[in-house]
A and B are shown apart, each in its own frame.
Chain A
Amino acid sequence: AQSVTQPDIHITVSEGASLELRCNYSYGATPYLFWYVQSPGQGLQLLLKYFSGDTLVQGIKGFEAEFKRSQSSFNLRKPSVHWSDAAEYFCAVVDDSNYQLIWGAGTKLIIKP
């Protein structure tokens, strides 16, 4: 069965520092991959997606992610974080049996002033 692993439960970075959130998936073929962000009390907002093509994808709010088939990874990056980026970040892959999303457990991002 497909699965998504986000190894870091919490990550703390200083405002202005760079950020990388890790995501690993298990899937044989080319996956459809997503990153979503969830602020407290809010629903999930799509940051970016990868379906095919260029393995470096750009998203909203200055985020980008790189699909690396050899490492089964889809890590999220941002060169300089802002206090407003504090939230929980979820990586997800499309389940090819029902086209729904299989989610990682999330990484909570904490920003130090």
Chain B
Amino acid sequence: DAGVTQSPTHLIKTRGQQVTLRCSPISGHKSVSWYQQVLGQGPQFIFQYYEKEERGRGNFPDRFSARQFPNYSSELNVNALLLGDSALYLCASSLGSGANVLTFGAGSRLTVL
């Protein structure tokens, strides 16, 4: 069975641009969460979606948005990129919306120049 897949794996953008990151959860998982991991730190929670509805949002500006599609895949969008948005963006899926075990993808490495 395929795990959590993310695309692209690496990308480089310049300040002010916009980026879209994509995530496909494990088959049967209805919840997708997004985390940002800055180099040398632990991940920080950005969003959780469950059954296409936003169930949680971390302390991130409105430049960050996300959505979940009927097939439970998800996109994370970041507008007006800043240098500080350079990070590894991790997607995780789980069966439900509560305290579940998260299975992570390999991440999308974003570099903002």
The answer to whether B99 touches A99 (Cβ under 8 A) is yes
Q: Which residues of A contact B72 (CB under 8 A)?
A: none
Q: How many A-B residue pairs have CB under 8 A?
A: 57
With both beta carbons as reference points, the residue of chain A lying nearest to B42 in the complex is identified as A103
With both beta carbons as reference points, the residue of chain B lying nearest to A102 in the complex is identified as B45
Q: Give the contact-size bracket for chain A.
A: 20 to 34
Q: Which residues of A contact B55 (CB under 8 A)?
A: 98
Q: Which residues of A contact B (CB under 8 A)?
A: 4, 32, 34, 36, 41-46, 49, 51, 90, 92, 94-95, 98-106
Q: A43-B90, A46-B103, A103-B43 provided; 13 other pairs, C-beta below 8 A?
A: A32-B99, A43-B105, A43-B107, A90-B42, A98-B48, A100-B48, A100-B58, A101-B43, A102-B45, A104-B42, A105-B41, A106-B40, A106-B42
